[in-house]
Amino acid sequence: MTETSYRIRGATGDWEVVIGLEVHAQVVSQAKLFSGAATAFGAEPNTQVSLVDAAMPGMLPVPNRECIRQAVRTGLAINAQINKWSRFDRKNYFYADLPQGYQISQLYHPLVGEGSLTIEADEKAGIPADKAIGIERIHVEQDAGKLMHDQHPTRSYVDLNRSGVALMEIVSRPDMRSPAEAGAYLRKLRAILRYVGSCDGNMEEGSMRADVNVSVRKPGEEFGTRTETKNVNSVRFVMQAIEYEAQRQVDVIEGGGRIVQETRLFNPDTGTTRSMRSKEDAHDYRYFPDPDLLPLVLEDSFIEDCLHSLPELPDAKRTRYVEVLGLSDYNARVLTAEAETARWFEALLAESARIQKKSEGEVAKASANWLLSELYGALNRLGKTLEDSPVNPERGAELLALVADGTISGSIAKQVFEIMLETGEAPAEIVETRGLKQTTDTGAIEAVVAKILADNADKVEQYKAGKEALFGFFVGQTMKAMQGKANPQMVNELIKKALG
């Protein structure tokens, strides 16, 4: 395994950081893990709470099949072991937003066992080669509610809308050695979850968050004592938390202190962590099998159905884009990094191939280049995303077809695109109503070329004397005189002919 060169500089030499992430991903489901209550984000407090979620006496949990299915599909997407027999346990602790007094989780027998995820090389970020990050397990559990401290000057309120929402806890091995590797892992995991459709990956809304385990050691020595920074809700904050916490631990150790195993909180305003409580061991929660729930026993046919329901995943898609469509590795990586980008590109590709009556391979490069340069550039300028793009894939394909068949030139296409962004008009309509069609009239182009050469007789002499760079000047002047509407290939040919 190729390791990163990331090191923390200390007074006694270099230190290595060891990182593991526990990612809590909310399962995409219309109902909670053990009740039929809704899970929509942003509902009024306590409007999505069933009697089960509120822990009313005599209420019994019933597992939601869809939540189990989504967790199994996620496990299959990371090539993990699916455990046909798993069991729910009670994790006992008191907190005001936990009405049962315990959380239903899976400690001893999780639904999903060991798997792995590969992060890609990124020299700029300090990741020298592709690296496999081990995943220890995925277990399903119910979320707690939420305490609201900002609603009253002296009281805290409890919102149980999240109580009972299904979570997948995805636990990595301590295989990451830099903030960049942790960021790459989290981005890749979020992309896979979005491709699969098991979690929307929206960290801002809390549907995906990470507990960050950090320890430090001298390179090659035994693992040090780790701390866990809870509920970090963005990739950038995870990287900041690691950087700060690793440096803090080095300073403590080199100052003669020792690291205490504890839970910490990250402050995004200052980029620092602070102590929350000493870290409990598993036995402190008095785990035991939940007596209200039978073990989960999965049939082979259920697992097969989950496997066949998976879409083409990012790594396989990237390989196909390079090997079959002929795209560059860089373009393929960008296009497959997010499920939404890949879907948009494939819609553009399919429509381009249909209109131009060509194979997808023949139109792939032009489609990818236009999406990644022209469309992305415009969206960045407008502060928009692909989801709210003013131009859809069908309109983009129509524009590319007009360039491909010679109706407009590449420079005119840029003008047409700007008008499309502003007005929403179809490209063919814009070209027709504004008279932007490319001129292929040989006589008209020849006349302009003759005038340009006559007006620049001195430069013609210089060109014939060996200053060949002036050829581009003649082309530019001709295109300018014809307002960019001349066919560039014809302009080049006719200038060559005129210059002899």
- Tell me what pLDDT residue 440 has: 63
Cα(155)–Cα(59) distance, rounded to whole angstroms?
29
For position 448, what pLDDT does the model report?
85
Q: Three-state SS for 319?
A: helix
Q: What was the pLDDT predicted at 426?
A: 95
CA atoms within 13 A on the CB side of 455: 11
| Residues pairing with 216 in the sheet | 17
CA distance 162 to 165: 5
Nearest in space to 495 (alpha carbons), one of 483, 464, 465: 464
Contact 102, 91 (CB under 8 A): yes
Dihedral over Cα of 67, 71, 72, 77: its sign? positive
Residue 98's identity, in one-letter code, is L
Distance CA 147, CA 149 (A): 6
Would you state the pLDDT for residue 460?
85
Coil, helix or strand for 39?
coil
DSSP letter assigned to residue 289: E
One-letter amino acid at 418 equals E
CB proximity list for 12: less than 8 A, separation 6 or greater: 254
Instruction: Give residue 357's region: left, alpha or beta (phi > 0; psi -120 to 50).
Output: left
Integer Cα distance of 263 and 273 in angstroms: 10
Q: Are 24 and 179 in contact (CB under 8 A)?
A: no
For residue 441, the model assigns a pLDDT of: 64
> pLDDT tens track of the chain, all 500 residues?
456 789 999 999 999 999 999 999 999 999 999 999 999 988 999 999 999 999 999 999 999 999 999 999 999 999 999 999 999 999 999 889 999 999 999 999 999 999 999 999 888 888 999 999 999 999 999 999 999 998 899 999 999 999 999 999 999 999 999 999 999 999 999 999 999 999 999 998 889 999 999 999 999 899 999 999 999 999 999 999 999 999 999 999 999 999 999 999 999 999 999 998 776 555 688 999 999 999 999 999 999 999 999 999 999 999 999 999 999 999 999 999 999 999 999 999 999 999 999 999 999 999 999 999 999 999 999 999 999 999 999 999 999 999 998 888 888 899 999 999 999 999 999 998 888 887 666 777 888 888 888 889 888 888 888 888 888 898 889 878 877 777 777 788 888 888 87
